[in-house]
Structure 1
């Protein structure tokens, strides 16, 4: 982790800077496509009226979701993705905010 910027990252794998797509460009394009596909599959799952169709879409959704995660992990390992270290106070504030929402759910335990 880079202490000065609070970023969590790996050293970036260098790619050629040319007009042609490189490995990072292809990986980013595939990751974006898988994200859009999982969103579309989720909508289709919500609207499927036939059980067999639902199960087929569910399998495609899970395959796409796994692929998305593998691409994400690859890009993080290659140093093409980084994260900001979360501030503990901000996490606590968000937790408090969203735990209050649970009282609005009709199925209280």
Structure 2
């Protein structure tokens, strides 16, 4: 499609029926893994014991890797796409966050 900013692989066709298809199952699993990584992140922030933190951190990492694998598979099959940002938008966003960063105290000032 001319002028399209969409980044996407060709879609793998799936049956259009009321039953869940492969795309639906993968999307459900991806959503679940995203939810789980959010929950594990919160649990790590609130863990009061180092060994508990370490165990949750390991599970978080494994879950995050599964989430990434599912995302990559969905992207490969054309079931996940992006809109490419133009260079001006990228530059503006970079400048905005550079400005935010310059407002933060330097790490040697934080005690």
Answer yes or no: same fold by TM over 0.5.
Answer: yes
Q: CA deviation at 1:3?
A: 4.3
Q: Residue in 2 aligned with 1:41?
A: 40
1:26-105 equivalent positions in 2, closer than 5 A: 26-105=25-104
- Which whole-Å CA distance do the structure 1 matches of 2:98 and 2:2 have between them? 31
Q: CA deviation at 1:106?
A: 1.8
Q: CA deviation at 1:8?
A: 1.0
Q: CA deviation at 1:4?
A: 2.9
The change in CA–CA distance for 1:108 and 1:56 in structure 2 (over 3 A counts) is closer
Query: Please, what TM-score do these two structures have when normalized by structure 1?
Result: 0.94
- Which whole-Å CA distance do the structure 2 matches of 1:20 and 1:66 have between them? 28
Q: CA deviation at 1:104?
A: 2.1
Name whichever of 2-11 and 61-70 sits farther off: 2-11
Aligned length: 108
- Which whole-Å CA distance do the structure 1 matches of 2:102 and 2:20 have between them? 50
RMSD over aligned Cα, in angstroms?
Answer: 1.3
Q: Deviations over 1:29-88 (max 9, x none)?
A: 000000010000011111101011001100110011000000000000000011111110
Q: Mind listing any 5+ residue stretches in structure 2 that lack a counterpart?
A: none
- Which whole-Å CA distance do the structure 1 matches of 2:91 and 2:12 have between them? 35
